[in-house]
Structure 1
Amino acid sequence: MSDPLSPASYAPYPSVEEYILDWTDRIWADGAIGDIAGMYAADLPVRTASGVGVGVEGVIRGSLAKKAAFLHRIGVGEDVVWESRGPSSFVSHHRVLHTGAQHGPWAYGPTTGRAAVSRNLPVCLVEDAMVTEEWVVRDEWAVVEGLGHDPSAVAIAAPVDLSPLGAGGIFGRPAPADPVLEGDSGPRPATHREEATFVASLWSDVVRERRFDRVPDFYSRDCIVHTSRNRTVTRLDGVRGDLMELLAPFPDAEVNVRDIAVHRSPDRGLRASVMWQLRGTYSGLPVYGTPRGERVEVLGVSQYELEGGRVRREYRIFDEIAVLAQIEAQRARQGVTPS
């Protein structure tokens, strides 16, 4: 597939993939923290499951602290699913596999000598070779647990209060009316409309409508799903159960697709990536302690390898530590003893 973008949109690199992968290595492998200001717009918003930060200075400070705490942590770029957003802009859904130990002091607790395996998935809107908005999704439960820390203690120590964000929540705006046509990163191109409709329907028909009987319409018989807490489930029954477990703690949850990117490449084939939002009350299964109706917002990304008109493999990433920290913030306000 020919590149529809102006080369200036990913300069000075030869491709979008090299732009994303090389910048990531410069910052996290080589430690070029000072170069971040040359990649991120000065006033960009960075949206995570723990809140919204504004400005490149916060990105620099946070990156420096994390690099110092995880000095020898290695991040491998597993895939870059990107799509144009006009002649000089693109959106990148970049999946990264992290391995390594905690080197120094960090919010999760003292160094334990253990290593963790987890996935991150930053979604970046890039305009004229500068990141102008970013949504960052991490499987922090896998990090906390892998390093030997207690997830509940971590959430209690750093509660997350999203109420100052108001009705717009993490995204700061209503959900897109039709993400096949336009998502949070902007209008989609006319290419891959069928595949975008397919993954949007997966979320609307199976997840939003709770039609788990329709899983075989979207997943292949031998499907594999890598999901939160570094877990893997397989085949159709595994997918059904995992999607039910996603929703069961929040039975009234509203689920919206926020952004879609689809890309085909000669070496990796056809892939799609969906950024999604779940908002509901913790009133179902007691996954995070005793449910008391606490409001929760989940920011997640699912990437799909498509084969024969079905999902052959999915990577579903979201931050359950942030979910637990949101719940703990409301318990603290209500004077509830931590679980």
Structure 2
Amino acid sequence: MPISDATYAPFDSPEEYILQWTDRIWRDYGLGRLEDHYAADMVVHGAYGPIRGMQTVLRGSLAKKSAFPTRVGTAEDVICEQRGADAFISHHRVFHSGPQTGWWTYGPPTGRNSESRNIAICLVRDGLVVEEWVVRDEYRVVTTLGLDPEQIARTVAFTDEPDGLFGTAAPTDVLVAGESGVRPESHADEAALINEFISAVWGLRHLELVPAFTQRDLFLETTRARVRTRADNYQSDLVQMLAPFPDAVVEVRDIAVNTAAEQGTRVGVLWRLSGTYDGAPAYGPVTRSPVEILGASQFLLRKGKIIREWRVFDEIAVMAQIARARGDVPQA
């Protein structure tokens, strides 16, 4: 059953819905339009915990726009996939750039240019966003503003909700239905490839399999604006991501696949990493405390193999959990 035009009206496609609404709200100072874009009871899942209700989102958006009034969010890609006749899921990869000229959570204006990559994953039903998962490279934001990541991590709060960042158990079979609902039957092979890659290589630590899943000239763009090329450097970066949490469990929570003439076949993935900070002391002295990470990746496929991955997660949120477990005193 094809998706109803009403789901993304008045635009020509789900991709245009996402791009045009982003500009209408952020470029045009149309923050009051949020009530026409978000359901009143919508939920945003972020790296520090859930945000509930459109009005709460509006308050946070006003603060962000005030701090970065001329910041530009440029779409790198939008991966959309149908979720029944009345809904679609969108994995929107955005590169943000612009100066901090107003007060922000981290303090007074720095005047410096902030740069970061975000991935916003929106479930749109009957023309309204009803649920969203937002992942930001906040470490890159902090460092481009000239601030100290460790000091900032002591000032931010992480959720105390017992159900954590997602509030639900992992999907039984993400290839059939993920956080966003039942997937279509199309692109089954591509979704299965990426699910197997993350499950086997990331989850079971079979890093020796990376070359079997990837093209020779593999590119990884990940947190802190780091770029890694070819399989051996991908393996090295993945080991460094996992090593602080040796018992880490990686869950694939949602998958969307789209093929377009210009962009090729891309796969968007929402994932969760949970583990204990008792391994490599990458974030200071180990605490043997639990850490939860909400992450997102986008993969570009070529001839049935991975040629590129963009990976985003919030290392400031990781550091905030560890700082709290360590009992660090917040510093202004």
TM-score by length of 1: 0.95
CA displacement, residues 265-306 of structure 1 (integer Å, 9 cap, x when unaligned): 111111001100000111111111101112110000000110
CA displacement, residues 40-72 of structure 1 (integer Å, 9 cap, x when unaligned): 011111100100111000110111110010011
Unaligned runs of 5+ in 2: none
Correspondence for 1:54: 52
Moved over 3 A (4+): 336-339
Q: How far off is 1:165 after superposition?
A: 1.9
Whether the 8 Å contact between 1:278 and 1:297 is mirrored in structure 2 is: yes
Whether the 8 Å contact between 1:159 and 1:328 is mirrored in structure 2 is: no
Are 1:221 and 2:216 counterparts? Answer: yes
Unaligned runs of 5+ in 1: none
CA RMSD of aligned residues (A): 1.3
Q: How many aligned positions are there?
A: 331
SS in 2 for 1:44: strand
Q: Which of 198, 201, 206 is the aligned partner of 1:203?
A: 198
Q: Which of 143, 161, 169 is the aligned partner of 1:165?
A: 161
SS in 2 for 1:117: strand
Correspondence for 2:154: 156
Whether the 8 Å contact between 2:47 and 2:165 is mirrored in structure 1 is: yes
Q: How far off is 1:337 after superposition?
A: 6.0
Correspondence for 1:291: 286
Identity of aligned residues (%): 50
Cα separation, 2, equivalents of 1:58 and 1:78: 27
Cα separation, 1, equivalents of 2:39 and 2:302: 37
Correspondence for 1:273: 268
Are 1:10 and 2:8 counterparts? Answer: yes
Are 1:109 and 2:107 counterparts? Answer: yes
One-letter amino acid matched to 1:59: V
Moved more, 65-74 or 104-113: 104-113
Cα separation, 2, equivalents of 1:28 and 1:315: 23
One-letter amino acid matched to 2:46: T
Q: Which of 15, 28, 40 is the aligned partner of 1:42?
A: 40
One-letter amino acid matched to 1:183: G
Moved more, 183-192 or 286-295: 286-295
Q: How far off is 1:338 after superposition?
A: 7.5
Query: After the TM superposition, which residues 1-339 of structure 1 pair with which residues of structure 2 at under 5 Å, given as runs?
Result: 4-160=2-158, 162=159, 164-166=160-162, 168-332=163-327
Cα separation, 2, equivalents of 1:187 and 1:254: 24
Cα separation, 1, equivalents of 2:329 and 2:124: 44
Whether the 8 Å contact between 2:25 and 2:33 is mirrored in structure 1 is: yes
One-letter amino acid matched to 1:215: V
Whether the 8 Å contact between 1:109 and 1:149 is mirrored in structure 2 is: no
